[in-house]
Amino acid sequence: MLKGIPEILSPDLLKVLAEMGHGDRIVISDGNFPSASMGKNGVVIRCDGHGVPELLDAILQLFPLDTFVEKPVTLMKVVPGQEVATPIWDTYEEIIAKYDPRGKKAIDFVERFDFYAEAKKAFAVVATGERALYACMILQKGVIKS
């Protein structure tokens, strides 16, 4: 056991977060996301039983968001024609604002298939049991400043 590390972060996830370098990206997926097929070129970490918000909060305690890009957080846009509420996005904005002064300005929204294309290039995919729709995100790692 370690002090100061959020308990929700498994040893496998901690290892991946430490191995990632500046500009590397990680997907935190909801339960409907095709994690195994999207993450076949990277690492897939199972976090079943956990939701995206609690993992996001724990990860951002250790993981700096990239300041060399305007929007280091990417969310998937709702598919046109679908009437889907996305209250989880408000939760994400609150969590991100705790750790990054840009708050919601750090978030970009991309079309579904563009999101999938970017997810396939990610360093890792964290597969959660999140049940909210459109709850997937991609985080781009920044640098720790001394």
Specify whether 116 is catalytic: yes
Specify whether 22 is catalytic: yes
Both tokens of residue 108? Answer: 């970009």
45 close to 13: Cβ distance less than 8 angstroms: yes
Specify whether 92 is catalytic: no
Output the CA–CA distances (angstroms, integers) from residue 73 to 25, 65, 134, 142, in the order listed: 9, 8, 14, 11
| Cα–Cα dist 101/109, whole Å | 19
Q: Active-site residue among 24, 30, 57, 66? A: 66
- Tokens 């720790």 correspond to 144
| Cα–Cα dist 136/146, whole Å | 31
The candidate with the shortest Cα–Cα distance to 135, out of 62, 78, 65, is 78
Positions marked catalytic? 22, 66, 116
